[in-house]
Amino acid sequence: MTESTSRLRHSVRRLAFAAAGVVALCALYLIRPESSGLVLPEALRPVAEPVIQAIDVTTVLAATVVLAIVAAMRKLSYGMAAVLLLCIGANLTSAAVRAWESDAPSVLLPSGHVVAITALWGSALLVSAPRFRPVIAGLGFAVVLGVAGAAALVETSGIFGLAASLIIFAIWWALASTLMLYSPVAAEREERRPDTAAIAFSRHL
């Protein structure tokens, strides 16, 4: 299989994955399944509130700029565009869904904080050096779980709202990672990176 054929195959899979995410998101708000907020111990609220407050526009923009700089330093020609595509696209989609579905129960709406942190995590995975990817994958997953728990407690997000947040992230990650396939350095890295439990899934998309 030639490099161009392999790249095309991965691109088609990831674009199909993004399309499936769009369908799933639309279906969620057409059906609007009944759901209640996740019940977590109120004793955790003093810890959860600072976590949510720390994820604001300034923090997200600063982290996005840092990741774009990392991409530039690693000479990933499409890295900066992929970071901006994922971070801006995911966050704008989250805000748009909340605006368009303003009459939906709050437990069904995506959490902007979860979307923001997952977008940053996905961007970091796209532009990081191979030797750091397993660490970023593991730590990032733990952070995402923590933020999701904090959002469920502070914002009364439900399971479907958190699922919508992850679907939005998955759509834009698939698009951004497709763009990265056409970055010469990233394409070479994709072929030689080691598979781990945390990142093996992306190799098959």
Q: What is the pLDDT of residue 105?
A: 85
Global pTM reads 0.84
Q: Which two tokens stand for residue 144?
A: 């995402």
Q: What is the pLDDT of residue 83?
A: 95
pLDDT band at 199 (very low <50, low <70, confident <90, very high): very low
d(CA 6, CA 150): 40
Residue 68 amino acid letter:
A
Q: What is the pLDDT of residues 138-158, one digit of tens each?
A: 999 999 999 998 988 888 778
What DSSP string runs through 141-154? HHHHHHHHHHHHHH
Q: Among candidates 95, 112, 81, which has minimal Cα distance to 177?
A: 81
Q: What is the pLDDT of residues 18-44, one digit of tens each?
A: 999 999 999 999 988 887 767 777 788
Tell me the mean pLDDT in the region 153-175. Answer: 91
Give phi and psi for 36, each to the nearest 5. Answer: -120, 160
